[in-house]
């Protein structure tokens, strides 16, 4: 349990980095005096990189490094990144770099810029590595501990084994104690970090604001290293991503061969432990990967894994390719998400932070966002419950598609609310003549921003849960290269959160492109660009309106794509067809089944 506790402490680094990046927008605009679009582009590129890297790192973990070494390397990158970020503030290395020590743009020398732009990729690597391996490593250690608990039961004497009820209660009690220690440790770490963030918020020097998270990150990493010899190491066992590329390569190498008319002539393993996927007639070009060449023996071809694939592997690849259109419609959701930690934060930074006689810290809105995010994820359970209540026959599993559509509605409402609030803020700016005073506070309460943070959190929470559920239902199931710490989880399922974050990450990167394109279009005909150097001279409300109708169009496209998407049959449906004997031959999908699957319900 000590090993697990020292792994949990690494949450300090993640939570502190979240806080650091949440206030980074204000640092770049207040100290560096960058334009708010320039600062937002830096933050969005960082988050886009942090969200897309885990998919690559997960592949490296499964093929080369393993979870422990990935977590160790990412933690070291965290320490270096947070240290460089602290050193990039003007007072830390002012004398060594020959610059002044004040928080002014003229005190930001070339050395500070190099340190800053080196720190961001290192922090992104640290955050991505923790997202990739923290849960998996904790499962490995937890699985080892709980396996030990149950293993002790089998070591008892025959007299003790007679009273099974008492022994079951003892084992279950120890099991609950293990979980209680883990989750109490997580909450303890969270409370300590939240308290530290609240205190740090009232500290004005940026070197200390960045220095405290850096010290906490170093301490957490050193504490993690003290259990170096006690970890349960699990060797890399291969990645299912390799199978996808094997099918593509094999089909290309056999491009000149003709697929047999009878799909039973294609290569398929006859292992009863494997879960075979029925052959389908779509994307027939990929079937060439399973063609058995006539002039070579089957045993020789089976040794060349990049030249011969099974029908199941081909069908799994087809499922992934068919998911691409729906996945593309989710990128726009990442564009909306990108405005949360950038433009929203910059707007709050220029509003009145006082509530009665109390100055509200900026991270309060981060807490509101996280609470709304959790509520949005929990609302998916309600959608599933309503689907079961209203389904007259067997459940059609519409919940993921409905959840994604509702999350897009939340995104539209978030953009509309943000546009209305920004329009009101600009009205207050004009009323008090603050157009040329970008550093002055606007006499308008920051709590006007709460609704859009709530809507954004609901959108992201429901979207993440719905996407993972959709991919879980449609993603290929495999029993190969499986590590089972507590429950049977296929390696494909382990990739689902990273696929989700990768899609949102691509959308976040596209948010930078959208600002550039919208700005260029807005200045056509000699008109003023919507994005000026400061917030008061810009028309951010028009950009929000643009995102709202683009999101509305994206919602319509998603509904159309979801209607025509051919969903993978569930395992229960296949079992019912086999028992009923009316589903045709095993391994063949009838045309009627294809038509039945062409609906918005899985």
Mean pLDDT of 434-452: 88
> Tens digits of per-residue pLDDT, 72-128?
899 899 899 999 999 999 888 876 777 787 888 888 888 889 999 999 999 999 989
Instruction: Say how far residue 91 (Cα) sits from the centre of its chain.
Output: 36
Indicate if 22 and 46 belong to the same structural domain.
Answer: yes
Tell me: do 461 and 515 sit in the same domain. Answer: yes
Domain end point (choices 270, 294, 320) = 320
pLDDT of residue 395: 52
Q: Are 200 and 268 contained in the same domain?
A: no
- Position 362 in a domain: yes
* 545-550 contacts at long range (C-beta below 8 A, 24 or more positions apart): 545/415, 545/416, 545/419, 546/518, 547/335, 547/336, 547/339, 547/415, 547/514, 548/412, 548/415, 548/416, 548/419, 550/332, 550/335
537 vs 568 pLDDT, higher one: 537
For residue 409, which phi and psi values (nearest 5 degrees)?
Answer: -65, -40
The pLDDT value given to residue 494: 65
Average pLDDT, the chain: 77
CATH number assigned to the domain comprising residue 190 = 1.20.1250.20
* CA gap 328, 503 in Å, rounded: 8
For residue 337, what are the contacts with CB-CB under 8 A and spacing of at least 6?
A: 456, 459, 460, 504, 507, 508, 511
pLDDT at 199 over 70: no
Rounded to two decimals, what is the model's pTM?
Answer: 0.80
308 and 351 in one domain? no
Is the pLDDT assigned to residue 591 strictly greater than 50? no
Query: Which domain covers residue 309, as residue numbers?
Result: 241-320
| Residue 110 maps to a domain | yes
Residues 33 and 60 in one domain: yes
Q: Are residues 308 and 332 in the same domain?
A: no
pLDDT(576) > 80: no
Answer whether 245's CB lies under 8 Å from 306's CB: no
In the structure, what pLDDT confidence band is assigned to residue 594 with cuts at 50, 70 and 90?
Answer: very low
Residue 491 located in a structural domain = no
Are residues 200 and 306 located together in one domain of the fold?
A: no
């Amino acid at each position: 349990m000590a090993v697990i506790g020292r792994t949990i402490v690494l949450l300090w680094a993640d939570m502190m980095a979240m806080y650091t990046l949440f206030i980074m927008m204000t640092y770049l605009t207040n100290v560096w005096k960058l334009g708010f679009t320039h600062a937002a582009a830096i933050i969005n590129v960082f988050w886009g990189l942090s969200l897309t890297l885990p998919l690559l790192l997960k592949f490296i973990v499964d093929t080369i490094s393993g979870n422990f070494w990935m977590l160790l390397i990412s933690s070291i990158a965290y320490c270096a990144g947070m240290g460089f970020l602290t050193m990039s503030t003007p007072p830390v290395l002012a004398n060594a770099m020959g610059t002044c020590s004040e928080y002014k743009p003229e005190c930001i020398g070339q050395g500070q810029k190099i340190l800053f732009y080196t720190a961001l990729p290192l922090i992104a690597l640290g955050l991505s590595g923790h997202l990739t391996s923290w849960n998996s490593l904790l499962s490995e250690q937890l699985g080892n501990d709980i396996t030990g608990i149950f293993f002790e039961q089998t070591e008892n004497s025959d007299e003790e084994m007679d009273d099974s009820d008492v022994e079951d209660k003892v084992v279950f009690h120890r099991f609950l104690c293990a979980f209680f220690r883990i989750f109490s440790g997580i909450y303890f770490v969270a409370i300590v970090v939240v308290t530290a963030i609240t205190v740090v918020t009232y500290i004005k020097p940026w070197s200390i604001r960045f220095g405290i998270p850096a010290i906490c990150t170093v301490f957490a990493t050193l504490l993690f290293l003290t259990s170096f010899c006690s970890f349960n190491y699990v060797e890399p066992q291969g990645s299912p991503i390799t199978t996808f590329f094997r099918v593509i390569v094999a089909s290309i190498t056999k491009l000149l061969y003709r697929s047999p008319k009878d799909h039973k002539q294609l290569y398929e393993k006859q292992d009863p432990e494997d879960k075979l996927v029925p052959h389908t007639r779509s994307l027939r070009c990929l079937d060439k990967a399973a063609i058995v060449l006539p002039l070579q023996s089957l045993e020789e071809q089976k040794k060349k894994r990049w030249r011969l694939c099974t029908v199941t592997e081909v069908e799994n690849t087809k499922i992934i390719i068919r998911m691409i259109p729906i996945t593309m419609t989710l990128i726009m959701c990442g564009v909306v998400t990108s405005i949360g930690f950038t433009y929203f934060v910059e707007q709050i930074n220029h509003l009145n932070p006082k509530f009665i006689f109390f100055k509200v810290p900026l991270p309060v809105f981060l807490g509101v966002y996280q609470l709304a995010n959790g509520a949005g994820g929990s609302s998916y359970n309600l959608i599933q419950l309503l689907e079961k209540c209203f389904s007259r026959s067997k459940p059609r599993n519409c919940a993921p598609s409905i959840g994604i559509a509702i999350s897009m509605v939340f995104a539209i409402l978030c953009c509309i609310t943000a546009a209305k609030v920004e329009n009101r803020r600009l009205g207050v700016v004009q009323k008090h003549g603050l157009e040329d005073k970008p550093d002055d506070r606007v006499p308008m309460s920051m709590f006007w921003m709460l609704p859009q943070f709530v809507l954004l959190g609901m959108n992201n929470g429901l979207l993440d849960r719905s996407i993972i559920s959709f991919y879980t239902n449609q993603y290929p199931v495999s029993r190969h290269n499986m590590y089972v710490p507590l429950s049977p989880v296929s390696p494909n399922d382990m990739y689902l959160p990273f696929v989700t974050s990768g899609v949102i990450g691509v959308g976040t990167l596209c948010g930078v492109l959208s600002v550039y394109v919208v700005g260029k279009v807005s200045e056509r005909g000699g008109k003023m660009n919507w994005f000026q150097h400061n917030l008061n001279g810009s028309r951010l409300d028009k950009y929000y309106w643009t995102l709202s109708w683009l999101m509305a169009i994206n919602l319509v496209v998603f509904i159309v794509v979801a209607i025509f998407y051919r969903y993978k049959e569930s395992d229960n449906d296949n079992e019912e067809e086999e028992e009923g004997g009316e589903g045709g031959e095993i391994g063949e999908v009838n045309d009627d089944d294809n038509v039945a699957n062409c609906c918005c319900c899985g």
